[in-house]
Structure 1
């Protein structure tokens, strides 16, 4: 059974970044491939925020490769912009996990909490997309997270439902 109640608002994790010069192209805007890297940063920080960094997951013999990706570009980020990488669990099963991601420009001195449950995200929308993943072991065979690492499955379930706050892992 896949859990994704489209009537339930997404529980977002917000991670601020500043656009570095090396991330821009000759036009002075962020190179399109960097948004995919930022999606990964968002996923990594989402998992860390809720108490189980990827490194700890991998020590348990589990990996979470991307099997599908979508990305829609609305407006470019530019050198030295402050952006928020917004990441939420879109759906999950014991074997699969899907994230929604947005990159949004924010003002120089704007500050936001790491967790966001409001319907409208802060900042100006730039890019949105998502990634779909499958839990695998070190042989790249699919595994059930609820059996292989039930603590993490419980953390993801609670984070999705909004019943978990930072570091309760």
Structure 2
């Protein structure tokens, strides 16, 4: 089965654009963060609650591929899915789609590791088995 895709929409704000009237490139990384935060929120758990449990998800790698520009007032959809999951790593894949014409604007990925507050690697499957099981179900398409 395919991973479950979580979709979150937002409207491009003027402050997110550059002098050319297009979304400034670093804003896509911020939107990736929105996508993964909302994906985790769908588990009934916020990033804050995860951190309060002693689990952090630092980004170790990020990649973006720009296809077409988003512009001020466009409504875009951030489509986020779990691309890879192990006991110590988690990768998300993202597509940013313009809603009006379903045009793919940006695709990308982020890689994360599970750490404690001291930034030491932890095995999420042992530390938070319910969270790990939920992420695994997202990765496997709800099997």
TM range (shorter): over 0.9
1:148 matched to 2:110? The reply is: no
Structure 1 residue 9, shift from structure 2 partner: 2.5
Aligned positions of 1:34-73 closer than 5 A: 34-73=27-66
Q: Distance in 2 between matches of 1:159 and 1:34?
A: 26
Show structure 2 runs of 5+ residues with no match: none
> For the residues of structure 2 that align with 1:40 and 1:147, how far apart are their CA atoms?
25
Q: 4+ runs of 1 displaced by more than 3 Å?
A: none
Q: Secondary structure at the match of 1:80?
A: coil
Q: 2:139 aligns with which of 144, 157, 160?
A: 160
Q: 2:97 aligns with which of 95, 104, 124?
A: 104
| Runs (5+) with no aligned partner, structure 1 | 1-7, 108-121, 165-169
| Match runs of 1:106-145 below 5 Å | 106-107=99-100, 123-145=102-124
Aligned length: 143
Partner Cα distance (1:15, 1:39) in 2: 10
> Could you tell me the TM-score, scaled by structure 2's length?
0.96
CA contact (8 A) 1:50 1:159 kept: no
